[in-house]
């Protein structure tokens, strides 16, 4: 069985001065996960290791460096899914966990599939996970952006088709793109036993409503994996992603051994046409092939396959 790994670090209008840091972070995550796979380790271990590196890198909107919600604090979501038996673990709205992907993995090994907020943190304590001070997750860059949005955003104009406040300049109908981070992170890995795992982690979108949960921790939206086809992790405007269940759609597109690149492209085209959405996705299939697609100016990503091919892009 051919091993493979692909990671992403967000799809949005990544500024020129942040490109190299995004690329370096994705490479580091890819390399950490690949080392586990190359040594015969599991896809589950590889995905967790890769996503933890992205959560710990302040450049991404996951873990440290995440965006702030309307009350000025960070709320984190994450999920991980096992493509063998379709078990999954998901957490949402956690405030004191630096690496929610690890907590999501603990949930996967519990009777629950998803835990939120206080219940998720109580479970984390039961599993011996250390808490962090919520202030440790806030970086100066995001605090300044929060202050700017807070001073200008008019909540009275919110409605169902309103892009999240952090993407208020997107002007989707005019073909525009968000000028705020959409740095949700994720990883898909295939191990030597043919086990496929997908994981996704995020701080959400800037100035989001308190308690808002996007696509990242939701099966079919932010991630999906099944050994018979492949795995997917997504990033972008979460509400639009959920409307078409982008991750499940992309995985379903792998039928009849369609190449992951074609499957990813088709999924993003469907998102744009049906939900007027903006996003990116990464895919790996049961043969260890990878693909990715996005309809934003940039998406940070890196990958490696068993045939010696690898790369990183933004």
Catalytic residue positions?
184
Assign 260 to helix, strand or coil.
helix
Assign 256 to helix, strand or coil.
helix
| 179, 195 contact by CB (below 8 A) | no
From edge to edge, which strands make up the β-sheet containing 279-285? 223-226, 230-236, 279-285, 290-294
Q: How far is CA 204 from the centre of its chain?
A: 9
User: Which residue stretches of the chain are H helix?
Assistant: 19-38, 43-56, 100-108, 117-126, 140-152, 238-243, 246-252, 260-275
Copy the structure tokens of residue 156: 């009275």
**DSSP structural state of residue 219:** B
| 70, 153 contact by CB (below 8 A) | no
Bridge partners for 305 per DSSP: 4
Q: How far is CA 308 from the centre of its chain?
A: 25
CA distance 187 to 199: 5
Assign 168 to helix, strand or coil.
coil
CA distance 121 to 41: 28
Ramachandran bin of 40, using left for φ above 0, alpha for ψ from -120 to 50, beta for the remaining angles: left
CA distance 184 to 280: 10
What does residue 240 show for φ and ψ, rounded to 5 degrees? -70, -35
Copy the structure tokens of residue 119: 């219940």
């Amino acid at each position: 069985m051919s091993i493979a790994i692909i990671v992403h670090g967000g799809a949005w209008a990544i500024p020129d001065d942040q490109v190299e840091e995004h690329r370096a972070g994705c490479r580091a995550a890819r390399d950490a996960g690949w080392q586990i796979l190359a040594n015969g380790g599991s896809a589950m271990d590889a995905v967790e290791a890769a996503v933890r590196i992205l959560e710990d890198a302040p450049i991404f909107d996951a873990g440290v460096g995440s965006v702030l919600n309307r009350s000025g604090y960070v709320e984190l979501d994450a999920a991980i899914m096992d493509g063998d038996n379709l078990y999954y673990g998901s957490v949402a709205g956690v405030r004191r966990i630096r690496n929610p992907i690890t907590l999501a993995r603990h949930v996967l090994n519990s009777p629950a599939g998803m835990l939120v907020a206080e219940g998720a943190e109580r479970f984390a304590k039961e599993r011996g996970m250390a808490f962090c001070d919520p202030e440790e997750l806030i970086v100066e860059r995001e605090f300044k952006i929060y202050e700017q949005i807070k001073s200008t955003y008019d909540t009275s104009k919110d409605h169902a088709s309103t892009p999240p406040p952090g993407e208020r300049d997107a002007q989707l109908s005019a073909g525009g793109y968000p000028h705020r981070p959409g740095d949700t992170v994720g990883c898909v890995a295939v191990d030597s036993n043919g086990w496929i795992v997908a994981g996704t982690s995020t701080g959400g979108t800037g100035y989001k409503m308190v308690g808002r949960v996007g696509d990242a921790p939701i099966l079919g939206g932010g991630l999906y994996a099944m050994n018979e086809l492949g795995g997917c992790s997504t990033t972008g405007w979460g509400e639009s992603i959920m409307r078409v269940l982008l991750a499940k759609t992309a995985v379903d597109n792998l039928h009849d051994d369609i190449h992951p690149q074609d499957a990813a492209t088709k999924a993003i085209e469907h998102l744009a046409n049906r939900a007027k959405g903006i996003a990116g996705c990464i895919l790996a299939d049961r043969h260890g092939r990878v693909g990715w697609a996005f309809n934003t100016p940039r998406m940070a990503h890196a990958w490696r396959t068993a045939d010696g091919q690898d790369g990183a892009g933004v």
